[in-house]
């Protein structure tokens, strides 16, 4: 399998994106902002199709528009009760824009399908290096705001009283999420981002209540799901995106079952330690 260059590139890109998605997704689930990740992926579709229409690489259009949308969501609604309204407005506007671009995109049906459902086996070495650079930037930014972000996520009122800018933290985190979504979309497509970014994080939080154990487990689960999905895609000739999302769903269901049993939960925590 690894004698083929396209498989080497696929495993490298999947490894980079899955770790980034797992770490960012953990905070996304912790902050109850999974709808934001879903909305940003649809925004990215509009950006990618628009970029292709102007002769630009779709990845850069995806990144640009998701960043703009992420910052916009953070500025429009920093408090919990405002988020759904803000995200819904951005999502509706982006879907309308994506529909317009898709009208002019009919001559590129294959590329449109790849944007919607991903084409990990089509990633070249240049794209893999680009994803690595973006991943490092996203994780460095996440590490820089991790402490105030965790504080604002768990105790927003107390954090604000202690001088933490809830609005600034929200804007920065959603901008980082936008980068993660853009990377993730290049692997599983904009319609399936939810599975790789949210699935492993949700499963990890079902299995352990410890922060560092959970965030590490989230990244490991995302990595395992992405790589195992590629192996199954190679052996069965079925789409890699299908296998990745199917494994993600199965792992989450298993985590619900295991997490509900105290003995198994204690065993999982001991293994993570």
Q: Which domain holds residue 99?
A: 5-192
The answer to whether residue 159 is domain-embedded is: yes
Percentage, residues of the chain above pLDDT 90:
15
Output the domain CATH number for residue 120. 1.10.3470.10
CB 42 within 8 A of CB 190: yes
pTM above 0.85, yes or no: no
Q: What pLDDT, on the 0 to 100 scale, is given for residue 63?
A: 82
The answer to whether the Cα torsion of 195, 197, 198, 204 is positive or negative is: positive
Helix (H, G, I), strand (E, B), or coil: what is residue 26? helix
The answer to whether residue 29 is domain-embedded is: yes
The answer to whether residue 45 is domain-embedded is: yes
**For residue 24, is pLDDT > 60?**
yes
The answer to whether residue 220 is domain-embedded is: no
The answer to whether residue 188 is domain-embedded is: yes
The answer to whether residue 98 is domain-embedded is: yes
What is the number of domains present in the chain? 1
The answer to whether residue 16 is domain-embedded is: yes
Q: What pLDDT, on the 0 to 100 scale, is given for residue 78?
A: 53
The answer to whether residue 163 is domain-embedded is: yes
Q: What's the average model confidence in pLDDT over 29-53? A: 78
Q: Summarize pLDDT for 108-145 with one digit per residue, the tens.
A: 555 666 666 667 887 888 888 888 898 899 899 999 98
């Amino acid at each position: 399998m690894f004698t083929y260059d396209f498989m080497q590139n696929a495993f490298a890109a999947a490894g980079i994106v899955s770790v980034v998605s797992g770490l960012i997704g953990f905070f996304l689930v912790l902050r109850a902002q999974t709808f934001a990740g879903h909305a940003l992926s649809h925004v990215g579709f509009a950006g990618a199709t628009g970029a292709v229409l102007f002769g630009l690489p779709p990845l850069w259009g995806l990144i640009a528009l998701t960043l703009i949308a992420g910052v916009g969501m953070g500025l429009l609604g920093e408090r919990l009760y405002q988020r759904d309204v803000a995200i819904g407005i951005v999502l509706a506007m982006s879907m309308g824009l994506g529909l317009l671009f898709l009208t002019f995109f009919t001559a590129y049906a294959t590329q449109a399908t790849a944007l919607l459902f991903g084409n990990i086996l089509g990633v070249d070495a240049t794209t893999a290096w680009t994803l690595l650079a973006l991943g490092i930037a996203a994780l460095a930014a996440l590490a820089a705001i991790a402490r105030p972000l965790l504080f604002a996520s768990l105790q927003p009122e107390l954090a604000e009283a202690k001088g933490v800018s809830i609005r600034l933290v929200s804007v920065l985190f959603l901008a980082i999420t936008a980068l993660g979504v853009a990377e993730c979309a290049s692997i599983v497509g904009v319609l399936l981002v939810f599975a790789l970014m949210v699935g492993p994080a949700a499963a990890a939080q079902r299995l352990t209540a410890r922060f560092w154990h959970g965030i590490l487990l989230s990244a490991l689960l995302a990595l395992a799901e992405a790589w195992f999905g590629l192996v199954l895609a190679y052996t069965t000739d079925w789409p890699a995106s299908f296998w990745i999302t199917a494994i993600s769903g199965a792992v989450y269901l298993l985590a619900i079952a295991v997490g509900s049993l105290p003995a198994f939960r204690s065993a999982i925590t001991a293994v993570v330690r």
